[in-house]
Amino acid sequence: MSDSSRDTAQGAGWGAHDPGTYGQLMPAETEKISWLDPRMLWAARNGVLASWFGDPTGRTRGRWVEQRAAAGAPADKVIRRPEPDRFSFMVIGDTGEGDDPQYAVVPGFLKVSQDTSFAVLASDVIYPVGSADDYDGKFFRPYRDYRAPIYAIPGNHDWYEDLGAFMRVFCDAPPLPAEPAPRPSGRA
């Protein structure tokens, strides 16, 4: 019997002599995210900072829903698929750092998902801020060999650039028009 991942690093798969094949999937350069870096906290709208300066996420969410409804999206927001009575799918989440921990699970994901009908990525597709610039190395590259559709639910990190990249990738949506500037206050 092997060690438990709760007891030893070896039981969790760390420190093995053969790291597997995931290294071949990775880009030559990856940016390591540090959640202790103040610039990262600012870019990722740290909850405390957002509470001080105001967070437009709720208003932006409403604008996206209006845009998609005007484009003919179903009012119940359900994706209808012609599936047989029995099917299987994969659920993965918080995938988007684009470094070793993300890529290390991809070979196993691809192996166990070979006969699945689709996958659902539940939260935080791209860290730290859902940037369109990060989708290539943090989403398209790692999951390029998964042949079924991937659906996603945006997490808080996907909203930090107002969900624009997420909506383009997963909903084929054009960018939102700029919000009108607030009226300047008068002398009264």
Average pLDDT rounded to a whole number, residues 80-94: 90
Q: Can you tell me the distance from the alpha carbon of 91 to that of 82, in angstroms, rounded to the nearest whole number?
A: 19
Q: What is the overall mean pLDDT for the chain?
A: 84
Domain that holds residue 61: 26-171
User: Into how many domains does the chain fold?
Assistant: 1
Q: Is residue 182 part of a domain?
A: no
Per the listing, tokens 């999206």 go with 73
Both tokens of 102, joined, read 């993300």
- Reported as a pLDDT band with limits 50, 70 and 90, residue 12 is low
Q: Is residue 86 part of a domain?
A: yes
Tell me: the pLDDT tens digits for 50-63?
A: 677 777 778 888 99
3-state helix, strand, coil split of the chain in percent (to 5) is 35, 5, 60
User: Which range, of 25-39, 86-100, 149-163, averages the lowest pLDDT?
Assistant: 25-39
- Reported as a pLDDT band with limits 50, 70 and 90, residue 88 is very high
E strand residue ranges, 49-108: 89-92
pLDDT value, residue 26: 79
Tell me: the pLDDT tens digits for 17-30?
A: 566 778 788 777 87
Q: Is residue 93 part of a domain?
A: yes
Q: Which residue in 4, 32, 19, 6 sits closest to 137, CA to CA?
A: 32
Residues 6+ apart with CB under 8 A from 188: none
